[in-house]
Copies of this chain bind each other. A is one copy, B any other.
Amino acid sequence: MSKASSNTGFGTRARANGARLVNKDGSFNVHKTGRKFAERFNLYHWFLNMSWPKFVLVIFTGYVIINFVFACLYMAAGFESLQGTVMRTPVQKFLSAMYFSAQTFTTVGYGRVNPVGHASNIIAGCEALIGLMGFAIMTGLIYGRFSRPRAKVMFSASAIFAPYREITGLMFRMANGRDSQMSDVSVTVIVAMNEEKDGKTIKRFYPLKLEIDKIFFFATTWTVVHPILDDSPLKGLKEADLEDRDIEILVQVSGYDDTFAQIVNDRTSYKWHEIEWNVKFKPIFTTNNQGEPMVKLEELSKTYQV
């Protein structure tokens, strides 16, 4: 039996209740309380992590709200200080002020409607600056979204126990989901399992020794193999034990991405019900019509009975 690792960062007190430690998307399934909203919330990260449709919606909504607020300010400064409008009713006047606000905020400034009094000129001057600042922020956010270094490693849906040489191996398969080039890619695999100690159930973590834990080029696919030798913490486990011991396989991949020129990380985990027995991964490496190497990623998770 190999030695338990105490440096996973989850701590041995992690309870034995079946909740996973690492989500399929690689985030840690740990909740934190006790930070104030202002401490916890980071506007930049919030914008960075939202979907594009939501991002556009937030921008448009903010735009409408800002124009509404400034329209109120222009009305308060006196509608007559906006020269050149052709509107008559209060609602029309307010909408007209909103249109003028939009023209100022975006710095279009057609000028048919334009400020003549001191108040409206000052408000407009401030709005134009705020517009530029808002736009500067938007530029930064959009660039941040674009350029954020992120790996997109595709993992097989299941880990498997498969025949490996004379013995058995725990395996999973992965591929680079991007067209960018990754090199010097290494992987760390840790198994989390419940154990009895002094009558209490505690969580133990064991690093799994891998056949290969680093490759030069992540060009095709990589089937990561943990051979179940005598010193493996998985030695002797039966299929039913996986659930009993609430087993979770934690995976971290790290490599250099050419496009970003940075080290990028990705994580996933396989909970006991995502581990299959007595299957093998279907080969997906072949050649195309021109005789060039080709990988069929659609079959990355395909297995067959042995």
- Taking a contact as CB atoms closer than 8 A, the residue among B8, B114, B136, B265 that contacts A256 in the complex is B265
A72 proximity list for chain B (CB < 8 A): none
- Taking a contact as CB atoms closer than 8 A, the residue among B7, B84, B131, B183 that contacts A215 in the complex is B7
Interface check A51, CB cutoff 8 A: no
A279 proximity list for chain B (CB < 8 A): none
Chain A interfacial residues counted at CB < 8 A:
128
In the complex, the answer to whether A110 meets B118 with C-beta atoms within 8 Å is no
Name, among A19, A43, A293, the residue most crowded by chain B CB atoms within 10 Å (CB to CB): A293
Given contacts A147-B44, A177-B39, A291-B17, contact A285 B121 (CB under 8 A): no
In the complex, the answer to whether B33 meets A296 with C-beta atoms within 8 Å is yes
In the complex, the answer to whether B9 meets A220 with C-beta atoms within 8 Å is yes
Interface check A112, CB cutoff 8 A: yes
Interface residues of A in 13-55 (CB under 8 A from B): 13-15, 17-19, 21-22, 26-35, 39-40, 42-45, 48
Q: Report the separation of the CA atoms of residues A73 and B34 in the bound assembly, to the nearest whole angstrom.
A: 51
A35 proximity list for chain B (CB < 8 A): 177, 297-298
- Looking across the interface, which residue of chain B has its beta carbon closest to that of A219? B28
Q: Give 18 pairs: A residue, B residue, CB < 8 Å, sorted on A.
A: A7-B214, A8-B216, A9-B183, A10-B220, A17-B291, A18-B291, A28-B217, A33-B298, A40-B177, A44-B147, A56-B133, A102-B128, A102-B129, A110-B115, A136-B139, A139-B139, A181-B267, A256-B265
- Looking across the interface, which residue of chain B has its beta carbon closest to that of A26? B181
Given contacts A7-B214, A125-B99, A261-B262, contact A283 B13 (CB under 8 A): yes
Q: Report the separation of the CA atoms of residues A297 and B95 in the bound assembly, to the nearest whole angstrom.
A: 48
A287 proximity list for chain B (CB < 8 A): 15, 17, 19
Interface check A11, CB cutoff 8 A: yes
A148 proximity list for chain B (CB < 8 A): 259, 261
A77 proximity list for chain B (CB < 8 A): none
Q: Report the separation of the CA atoms of residues A256 and B53 in the bound assembly, to the nearest whole angstrom.
A: 29
What 0/1 pattern do residues 73 to 110 of A give for CB contact below 8 A with B?
A: 00000000001101000000001000100111011111
In the complex, the answer to whether A140 meets B132 with C-beta atoms within 8 Å is no
Q: Report the separation of the CA atoms of residues A252 and B299 in the bound assembly, to the nearest whole angstrom.
A: 30
